[in-house]
Amino acid sequence: MQVQETLQDLSNKINAQPQGIAGLHAVYHFVLSGEEAGTYEVVFANNQADYTMGVTREAGCKLELSDKDFIKLIEGRLNPTVAFVTGKLKISGEMGLSFKLQTILHHYQSRN
């Protein structure tokens, strides 16, 4: 449940102050391994963030990593560039969206 709690916390922060995602329309799939394995979908649309377990739409960007590394990524304790280079993080789809995600996460990590 820690993955879902982390996603809920992030969604709450974004939805409370959506300026960090203003105008963004994107779908991300996080394919996680580990105890909380599964695919988690995050949708940014209409200045809101929403997540679901499972796939409901085609993703513009897919990220594959462990559930523990996912939590570290969201909390700002895992450098996405280092994770990608070392193989902890695999990215497919639009690379520009992965960079946008990094910007979004950084924006909301500084707003504990």
Four-CA torsion 3, 18, 78, 70, nearest 10 degrees: 20
What Cα–Cα distance (Å) separates residue 45 from each residue in 5, 18, 23, 75, 80? 21, 10, 8, 22, 23
This prediction's pTM: 0.94
Q: Where are the domains of the chain?
A: 3-104
Q: 111: Cβ–Cβ under 8 A, 6 or more apart, which residues?
A: 13, 17
Enter the tokens of residue 87.
Answer: 């193989």
Q: Write the pLDDT tens digit of every residue in 84-110.
A: 999 999 999 999 999 999 999 999 986
- pLDDT tens across 27-52, in order? 999 999 999 999 999 999 999 999 99
Looking from the CA of 107 toward its CB, the CA atoms found within 13 Å total 15
User: Tell me, what amino acid is at 11?
Assistant: S
Please tell me whether residue 42 adopts helix, strand or coil conformation: strand
C-alpha span between 28 and 91 (Å, rounded): 11
Q: Which CATH architecture has domain 3-104?
A: 2-Layer Sandwich (3.30)
**In 3-state terms, what secondary structure has residue 112?**
coil
